[in-house]
Each structure stands twice: as C-alpha cells, then as structure tokens.
Amino acid sequence: MVLPNQLTILRIILTPVFLWLFLQEDPLMKQISLLVFVIAAITDWYDGWLARKFNYITTWGKFLDPLADKILTSSAFLAFVIIGMLELWMVIIIILRDFTITGLRAYAEYKNHYFLTSRLAKWKTFIQMIYIYYLLLVYVAGTFVTIRDDYKNIYNVLLDENLIYYSMLLITLFTLITGLLYLNKNRNLIKKIFEFEN
C-alpha cells in the first residue's frame, strides 16, 4: 500500500480517537482531541500532496480519500450535536448529502465514469472545515480556566447560541444546494450509469 493510502487509513483510525477524547469530561482529553483532529486534517493535505507529486494515484486511494474526509468531518459535526452545540437535523442533512455524493462519485469511477467537479462543492468543503476548526478552537479554549475567566465576555459572544445556530443553518443550506447543483450537473452521467445497470 502506497504512503498516501496509509495516511488516509491513519486519518480514519484517528477519527474515533478524536471523538472519544473530545467527549471525555476531562479538559485535558478535550485539549488532546484538538491536536488529534489537526493531525488527522494534516494527513489529508499531505497524502494529497504526495499523490500528486509522486503520482501515487490509485483507484483505491481515489475512493478512500474522500470517504475518510467525510468520516472525519461528520464525526466532528456529530460530536458537537452530542454536546448540544449543533442541531441534529442540520448535521443529518450534511451527512446525507456528503455521503450520497461521495458514494455516487465512487460508483461512477468504479464504472470508469467521472463526475464533473464543482467549484462550489470545493468551497463547501473548505467552509465546513473552517467552521469545525472555529467551533473546536473556541470550545477547547474554554477548557482553560484562565481563558474562560479572563475573556468571559468574548468567549460567550463567540459561542452565542444564535450565532452558532444561524451560521450552521447557512452552512447546511449551502451544503444542500451544492449537492443538488452537483447532482443536476451530472444528471446525464447518473442516468447513464443506472440505465446501464438496468
């Protein structure tokens, strides 16, 4: 197995580790979970860079890499649902959209067809990751007593319920719209694949 694929597997392994650490009551465990998430995210960038630079592009890697990304981001969103920061219905929409598109794309590539990429879809992924980092950094910062006490007003503003709710609502809608546009853009290919199956 080439190194980029090994890093992708590592990212999948680190995901439940991050989730377990994040959900612990011990502040230190939550702080370590942030580090684990950052390491997992770095493997995403690094395995992509290696694959492009040394042409380590494999069919297995093309399937596994986006799947690993969705597993990581979905786990982070679900973690915030569990602690009561995000609404479950929003996260369900995001997860269904992301795994549906990833599944269809992987199946198409298995049949030697390739979906047309979307710039909006790339922006969607970028915005989701920035938002997750924002929530993680602010929430974990609150586990440090000095930060929580000395910057209480700022901390409360950054984690304001309305701010979190409406920003997540916008991300959910944007994610859903990009998914619908992605499906529409590739509707002929999707139809062709399933007609071939029938």
At 93 the pLDDT is: 97
Closest CA to 113 of 2, 5, 8, 196: 196
At 197 the pLDDT is: 54
At 53 the pLDDT is: 67
Residue 61 belongs to a domain with what CATH number?
Answer: 1.20.120.1760
Higher pLDDT, 80 or 146: 80
At 155 the pLDDT is: 86
In the 3-class helix/strand/coil scheme, how is 57-99 assigned residue by residue? CCHHHHHHHHHHHHHHHHHHHHHHHHCCCCCHHHHHHHHHHHH
Digit-coded pLDDT (tens) for 13-41: 999 999 999 999 999 999 999 999 999 98
Kindly state the average pLDDT of the residues 146-173: 91
Angle at 92 between CA 86 and CA 95, to 5 degrees: 110
Kindly state the average pLDDT of the residues 173-189: 90
Question: What distances in angstroms separate CA 198 from CA 156, 183, 192, 193, one per listed residue?
Answer: 56, 20, 10, 9
What residue ranges in 40-179 does DSSP mark as E strands?
none
Give residue 147's pLDDT band: very low, low, confident or very high (50, 70, 90).
confident
At 74 the pLDDT is: 95
In the predicted model, is pLDDT for residue 130 greater than 90?
yes
At 127 the pLDDT is: 95
Q: pTM for the complete prediction?
A: 0.89
User: Based on the structure, what is the number of domains in the chain?
Assistant: 1
Q: What is the mean pLDDT of the chain?
A: 87
Residues spanned by the domain of 113: 3-197
Amino acid at 196: F
